């Protein structure tokens, strides 16, 4: 799941949720990368260009990317 918070008055609306098969590995880097890509694509272009975006995750976000 991915949510957007627009600062102090942020509403925290959901922008992405990935459904995975029951036998999928837990917290894979590929899943985090895909969820981030999809979440950022939901932002209006005026908020994506020339702006810095803070992306926070739970402890599963520290997984290593194996390159596969």
SS (H, E, C) 1-63: CEEECCCCCCCCEEEECCCCCCCCCCCCHHHHHHHHHHHHHCCCHHHHCCCCCCCCCCHHHHC
Query: In this predicted model, what pLDDT tens digit does every residue of 30-57 receive, in sequence order?
Result: 888 888 899 888 888 877 777 777 788 7
Query: In this predicted model, what pLDDT tens digit does every residue of 2-32 receive, in sequence order?
Result: 888 776 766 778 888 888 888 877 667 788 8
């Amino acid at each position: 799941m991915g949510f957007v918070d627009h600062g102090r008055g942020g509403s925290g609306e959901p922008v992405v949720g990935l459904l995975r098969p029951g036998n999928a590995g837990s917290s894979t880097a590929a899943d985090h990368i895909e969820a981030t890509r999809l979440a950022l694509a939901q932002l209006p272009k005026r908020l994506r260009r020339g702006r810095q975006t803070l992306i926070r995750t739970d402890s599963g976000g520290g997984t290593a990317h194996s390159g596969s």
